Structure 1
Amino acid sequence: MVRYEVTVFTADMATATTFNNVFLKLVGTDGESERTLLVDDKGCASFFKGAVSSFSVCCPNSIGKLVLIEVDKQHLPPFLEDSWFASKVEVKSPEGDNYKFPIYRWIIDSKVHRFREATALRVFEENHHLGRNSRQQELKQREEDYRWDAYVGGVPHTMKASHPHSLPDEVRFSFTKKAEFSYTASEGMRELKLKGLDDCKENWTDIYAINRVFCCRKTDLSEYVQQHWKDDAFFGYQFLNGVNPILIQRCTALPNNFPVDHIRINNHLRGPHGLQDEMKKGNIFLCDYKRLDGVKPNTINGKKQYLMAPLVLLYSTPEDSLVPIAIQLKQTPADDNPIFYPSDSEYDWLTAKIFVRSADFNYHQLNTHLLRTHLLAEVFAVSLLRNVPMVHPLYKLLIPHTRYTLQINLLARLLLISENGFFTNFASSGGEGMITILKKSLSSVTYSSLCIPDDIAERGMEAVPNFYYRDDGLRLWDIIHRFVQGILSYYYKKDDEVQQDSELQTWIRDIFEHGFLSQAGTGIPQRFSTVDELVRFVTMVIFTCSGQHSAVNCGQFDYGGWMPNAPTTMQCPPPTTKGTTSEATMLQTLPNVDATVQGMAIMWLLSKRSSDFVHLGHFPEEHFREEIPRRLIKDFQGELEVLSAAIKTRNENLVVPYTYMDPKEVENSVAI
């Protein structure tokens, strides 16, 4: 008789405890153990939250090298069947070998669940029939659990699910996350109801009355925005370091549909050089919202709304400020589409900037935020879960970057962009316009635009000063790239190993088909031929799900907590002639009270970090067991610490600190 020492770890998280009987079977290359009831002197406390419990499993003879374990639990009266979150199982064999079996999921039924030993194996390395069968069974079940669904034609496919409870337990919110998310949402709306603001359809009659909304829920930056939202320098700064830093590009030639008055422009340039000279020097920049052109605006409270497609010309001054020097609010030049300049009347210029900020809000939410982080992250996650088993090194590398993504996206479809969602009811791009923008945006997404080094170069943004999104993003990309290269190069020594890994190839084909709708023009690979190609793509996936999402999400309340800086909609058309604006017309044009409060409540919710936040580089779940990958993780964490310290030091000297790419502030996944 030989004895195997088994240690079972229950997660230290709310509701992880089970009172059910837990059974274990060890399966090895030379045999298997009996299905064994795990009992120790702790009794029913063996599988309490945070428990680490040891057991013995005996066999007549050694069963060889362990391949997998089978785990099931059964309830006995008076206890009902409950849910158990097991972290991992460790086994010491009679030969003295140590095995680790990562689980990290809920076991909610009485079925038998199989888990592989933690050593990573690619599909072509599976030499034992038990491993091959387990791999096939796992993927077959995952194909059933994670099904593709076409939410609407022309946009990335999503996971088929109708309600959070229809999601597999392993991808749902934790009890803590669910409770905090629900509380934050209900608390905000309760406050607005008590103030009588949530269903008030009147216009604002005083700009400072907006302070009544969430008067006690402010950030240092949201207060700064309220004080400086009218300033040209702050208006320009937001194109670099606000929540939509991916639109601005260097302007080397004016678009044909933007016939600015060179004489008036030259009056706003510092120094002796004219517009053409400043463009040659790289000091002129353009923001073009052309993808909003032709979008049918929403109707809110029975009233037609307005959504412009502006062009904005900006100038980098000798003092390193970025300031607007011309704004055209519609794409087609016309007598009733004037170009506004800083020398125009106060409210002409301010109104033009507000229309731009409203366009930016809608463009950011649907393209920069929803499409390019949330929807793509869901595609990456579903394809991973359908096609890559737990024992695969890619799964081990990417699974931390999928946490909560499927549920937060499902909630977005149910609460934000549904028929009765926030966007449909309170944003000028809601309804039909939302789908139009998403379709247009997907057709413009390229692989290079998702890779920040290429994107910065293509937009000519390498040299513009005070571009902290660029500075921090490039450093973060490089750190992630080195980490990914280290991990994947450990498992893939040669290009042909990548080529023969059928699970890798199925993963990328699924992404190409379901995420980018088989559009070859995007540049998204349809297969991997080299290790370098694989490394670059996986780097992009991790960066998109962590740093990029943080950059375009976490500042939403900072920059939108003062509504005039980020209006969800505009109630009146833009001025067709100059000199017709005033404070009164501005207030009539801004969103009314209920649209304002609903927008601010949503931005507060989406900017609120939960207490079980997991920052980039922190991996509570131990999926890797080999020494080199574990060392690479520590090196990765060390580099992130250095970057975080550098960002904090830099921010000490900034009036407006930029924190969204600080690894300590970046979540591992799209989780909010």
Structure 2
Amino acid sequence: MFGIGKNIIEGALNTTGDLAGSVINAGGNIVEKVSSIGGKKIKGKVILMRSNVLDFTQLHSSVLDTFTEILGSGVTFQLISATQASFDSRGKVGKKASLEQWITSIPPLFAGESVFQVNFPWDDNDFGYPGAFYIQNGHTSHFFLKSLTLEDVPGYGRVHFDCNSWVYPSGRYKKDRIFFANNTCLPKDTPDPLRKYREEELLNLRGDGTAERKEWDRIYDYDLYNDISEPGDGRPILGGSQYPYPRRGRTGRRRDWKDSKYETRLPVVSGLNIYVPRDENFGHLKLSDFLGFALKSLASTVFPALVGMVNITRPGGEFDKFQDVHDLYEGGLPVPLDVIRNLTKDFTPPMLQELLRTDNDQRLLKFSPPQVVKEDKFAWQTDEEFAREMVAGVNPLIIRRLEVFPPQSKLDPKIYGDQHSKISEENIKSGLEGLTVDEALNQRKLFILDHHDALMPYLRKINSTKTKAYATRTLLILKNDGTLKPLVIELSLPHPQGDQFGANSKQYFPAEEGVQKSIWQLAKAYVVVNDAGYHQLISHWLHTHAVQEPFVIATHRQLSVLHPIHKLLVPHYKDTMFINAFARQVLVNSDGLLEQTHFQSKYAMELSSYIYKEWNFLEQALPANLIKRGVAVEDARSTHGLKLLIEDYPFAVDGLEIWSTIKTWVTNYCSLYYKDDSAIQNDVELQSWWKEVREKGHADKKNETWWPKLQNFNELVETCTTIIWISSALHAAVNFGQYPYGGFIPNRPTISRRHMPEVGSVEYKELESKPEKAYLKIINSMLQTLLGVSLIEILSRHASDEVYLGQRASIEWTSDKAALELFEYFGKEVSEVESRIIERNKDVNLKNRSGPVNVPYTLLLPSSSEGLTGRGIPNSISI
């Protein structure tokens, strides 16, 4: 085999000449070609990773790979001067220099970096400072270019280019790839010889809005959500006046022949082959960690296997008691042998074990124990834990202070009739700790978890499916020990005679024994179903993933890599476009995993469009959000300028520290480049960026008056802080607690399949005699549980290549020493916040920090290790 390979290689060289910059000696070994070009040289060090090292499905380099590399013309570089211009005012372009030792090192069997040398011809008198370079890839495969470093450039010393980009064969590009040195400058400060290069690179990234995008394209553009469903399936296109929505990245795939407004969908089995600009794709480690791979497999292969398994192991697909659910974590469920056989056709044993959590000997489907039931199997059922998770759970963003009693609806009475709450003072006075309703309101002690108005307009549609849900309101009182106590739950349905007749509402109250205790437990379950669905669809998907994608696209289209705000924000965009594209493929698409596991069913995305109408960028800033919900008031004497009305509010307390730390970093960093407001107003790239975010990225919101105008320093700082907050801490708070809290489905059911049992019915009698079985018949079925838990276990994991808040993937992301020093200080501040959170979690007087389940609030601890940790703030929305 080796001899044949040698003959092929030698034959290629004899036929094509020395095209690769290397020769083969008589022993068949590839050695570096000795350059015959004279003159002075500037040495450069290139760090890259070759595609076959990174390809998840290709584990070795074959003889054919080597053969095709030699037939290529090598990799060449040309420096571009930032100080010396040619006749057309562009920076002078130097002579070509070839990458040396390209194939002297056979790619390893593991993912890793390789270092290569390049020697640039140099003329001391006629070049100056190298501020950019062209690269031409003459090979037949692509590679990841991490960096180029020039040593001892005359008059300038070391010059570094932080590249971090995939480079495809040159024939794939209309223009040669260009990279800029890691300098930072506003457009007006760009060296004249680089000005046109800077402008042209942005034009290249914008594209012309036509044609289907290919994997090697580097085009950032916008489109509607016309790719999540097919014509005639009952789901509308999202984006536009009727169904407003943030824009997503354009792929240009062909339109559906049945209705050209829809983009054709990819088959689920295509999995990860969805266009996003290549640099926005998952890295090799995230793929090999199964985060991307497992999501694809869950939709295309594992779900059908789970269906078969449930039908065999438990006909009817129901749990009978809570211990049946605990068995998923303690003993596991047997996986039938025929299911294993079917799966092994497609997956290797390690992949199979990862996807089904099986052991080859035992063949058991077994999940990791969720934190919420690790120490106490029953504490999740307490009222204290039910209330605590509203301020320290996976969705701590909805609870607000009650300012008017009874709770009022903002729904249009001409359409929906009377939707105001029917809760009376008589209903709750026994739980008010000796206060009247007016006294409790005045002392700011009444709070509400309100899912009524968000759901009622769609509830009739939702309940026409297999779902049987309510629109819920939950009133709570803040006790003297700082904890919250539920007072009443109101469950509402649309009036059977029509929406204009208002809501049919019924109230339920805490009970300690008998069937009333079981009814109260069910009432709490209906509330949590609302909250879990709102969390996944709105707090998580819409308010982090979807609203951020336009910022990612606009930043690459309008802010040069040289721009300080580009350098500030781009780490907080890593993987976001890809995970969103993948979500449209298998998660939020019609009949996707979200529809199958959450109560909104086929109306999920349409409902999120309805709620997007109320989205306001200014209110995404944490202080503004807390004030809007009435859980905080402005107070100049307080540390963060706010006083929390629930002092022991773990998300808010930890979040304000993170927010303030981010804002201090952004303020200090921006002050390096913007000395006055006029510098912001006259920054053409910055103003184009902000205009595009509003008018193209969030086009359905472009006429809103609340958008910051971005005309002064404070607006710039607040805007950038909000973007970073959403991408990092807010997403972490609503994502990585999914499995710790929701992995035990009875604690956070996502579906209700029956309405509350009526007195005298068969269901009511079952609730009296077998309360656990009745409860489990109403929430997620066994199949829905297995699928839902499998999904959130994947989504709650950290990849091994994750970069956390206060960290950067590259230590040389800028050449500005002042910025590097400020960032180092920021990292130290983030670490100090983490230490303070850990100390707060030890304080037994802060009862909301751990609660009855003894799960400390760790979701805003900045650092984490790989895996399912329930902590860690990645820089970006990356899963």
The alignment's TM-score, normalised by the length of structure 1, stands at 0.92
Q: CA deviation at 1:514?
A: 3.8
In structure 2, what is the equivalent of residue 205 of structure 1? 320
In structure 2, what is the equivalent of residue 158 of structure 1? 248
The yes-or-no answer on 1:668 pairing with 2:830 is no
- Deviation per CA, 1:543-565: give whole Å up to 9, x if none: 10000000011100111111122
Structure 2 Cα separation of the partners of residues 198 and 537 of structure 1: 52
Structure 2 Cα separation of the partners of residues 335 and 126 of structure 1: 62
Structure 1 residues 420-499: aligned runs within 5 Å:
420-431=591-602, 433-461=603-631, 462-499=644-681
In structure 2, what is the equivalent of residue 361 of structure 1? 532
- Deviation per CA, 1:258-305: give whole Å up to 9, x if none: 2323234121233x32222122111110111121112156789x9621
In structure 1, what is the equivalent of residue 458 of structure 2? 295
In structure 2, what is the equivalent of residue 24 of structure 1? 77
1:627 counterpart letter in structure 2: K
Structure 2 Cα separation of the partners of residues 90 and 330 of structure 1: 69
Residues 508/430 of structure 1: CA separation in 2 closer, same or farther (3 Å cut): farther
Residues 307/46 of structure 1: CA separation in 2 closer, same or farther (3 Å cut): closer
Structure 1 residues 257-276: aligned runs within 5 Å:
257-270=420-433, 272-276=434-438
Residues 578/642 of structure 1: CA separation in 2 closer, same or farther (3 Å cut): farther
- Deviation per CA, 1:313-347: give whole Å up to 9, x if none: 01111222212101111177989532111148112
Structure 2 Cα separation of the partners of residues 378 and 419 of structure 1: 20
The yes-or-no answer on 1:232 pairing with 2:383 is yes
Q: CA deviation at 1:182?
A: 4.4
The yes-or-no answer on 1:9 pairing with 2:83 is no
Determine if contact 1:402/1:670 at 8 Å carries over to the other structure: yes
In structure 2, what is the equivalent of residue 250 of structure 1? 401
Structure 1 residues 434-583: aligned runs within 5 Å:
434-461=604-631, 462-519=644-701, 524-525=706-707, 527-575=709-757, 580=764, 581-582=767-768, 583=771
Q: CA deviation at 1:2?
A: 4.0
- Deviation per CA, 1:195-220: give whole Å up to 9, x if none: 92389763332232122435441233
Structure 1 residues 48-447: aligned runs within 5 Å:
49-62=112-125, 63-75=127-139, 80-110=140-170, 112-128=176-192, 130-144=193-207, 145-151=219-225, 152-153=238-239, 154-161=244-251, 164-179=273-288, 180-182=290-292, 184-185=294-295, 186=297, 193=306, 196-197=309-310, 202-214=317-329, 215-223=366-374, 226-254=377-405, 255-256=407-408, 257-270=420-433, 272-289=434-451, 290-296=453-459, 304-330=466-492, 337-343=505-511, 345-431=516-602, 433-447=603-617
Of 769, 788, 791, 1:599 maps to 788
Determine if contact 2:834/2:861 at 8 Å carries over to the other structure: yes
2:78 counterpart letter in structure 1: K
- Deviation per CA, 1:133-181: give whole Å up to 9, x if none: 2122211221121110110121111002366442222111112212321
Secondary structure at the aligned position of 2:746 is classed as helix
Aligned-CA RMSD value? 2.9
- Deviation per CA, 1:377-429: give whole Å up to 9, x if none: 21211111111111111111111111111111111111111123012233221
Structure 1 Cα separation of the partners of residues 472 and 703 of structure 2: 26
Q: CA deviation at 1:590?
A: 1.4
Residues 99/201 of structure 1: CA separation in 2 closer, same or farther (3 Å cut): farther
Residues 490/225 of structure 1: CA separation in 2 closer, same or farther (3 Å cut): farther
Structure 1 Cα separation of the partners of residues 617 and 311 of structure 2: 41
In structure 2, what is the equivalent of residue 33 of structure 1? 94
Secondary structure at the aligned position of 1:233 is classed as helix
1:645 counterpart letter in structure 2: S
Q: CA deviation at 1:568?
A: 1.9
Structure 2's unaligned 5+ residue stretches are 1-38, 56-60, 85-91, 208-218, 226-237, 254-271, 330-365, 409-419, 496-501, 632-643, 844-849, 864-871
Q: CA deviation at 1:311?
A: 0.8
Determine if contact 1:427/1:569 at 8 Å carries over to the other structure: yes
Structure 1's unaligned 5+ residue stretches are none
Residues 528/561 of structure 1: CA separation in 2 closer, same or farther (3 Å cut): same
2:162 counterpart letter in structure 1: P
Secondary structure at the aligned position of 2:396 is classed as coil
Q: Single out whichever of 542-551 and 56-65 deviates more from structure 2.
A: 56-65
Determine if contact 2:317/2:781 at 8 Å carries over to the other structure: yes
Of 781, 798, 808, 1:609 maps to 798
Q: Single out whichever of 209-218 and 406-415 deviates more from structure 2.
A: 209-218
Structure 1 Cα separation of the partners of residues 376 and 707 of structure 2: 41
Structure 2 Cα separation of the partners of residues 606 and 428 of structure 1: 19
Structure number with greater CO (CA < 8 Å, separation at least 6) is 1
Q: CA deviation at 1:56?
A: 2.6
Of 840, 846, 857, 1:650 maps to 840
Residues 260/216 of structure 1: CA separation in 2 closer, same or farther (3 Å cut): same
- Deviation per CA, 1:478-507: give whole Å up to 9, x if none: 100010111111011111111111211121
Structure 2 Cα separation of the partners of residues 226 and 504 of structure 1: 53
Residues 628/46 of structure 1: CA separation in 2 closer, same or farther (3 Å cut): farther
The yes-or-no answer on 1:637 pairing with 2:827 is yes
Sequence identity percentage? 22
Q: CA deviation at 1:652?
A: 3.3
Structure 2 Cα separation of the partners of residues 541 and 207 of structure 1: 42
2:814 counterpart letter in structure 1: F
- Deviation per CA, 1:578-627: give whole Å up to 9, x if none: 99454254333112221121111111111011111111111012321111
Determine if contact 1:316/1:323 at 8 Å carries over to the other structure: yes
Q: Single out whichever of 257-266 and 390-399 deviates more from structure 2.
A: 257-266
1:202 counterpart letter in structure 2: G
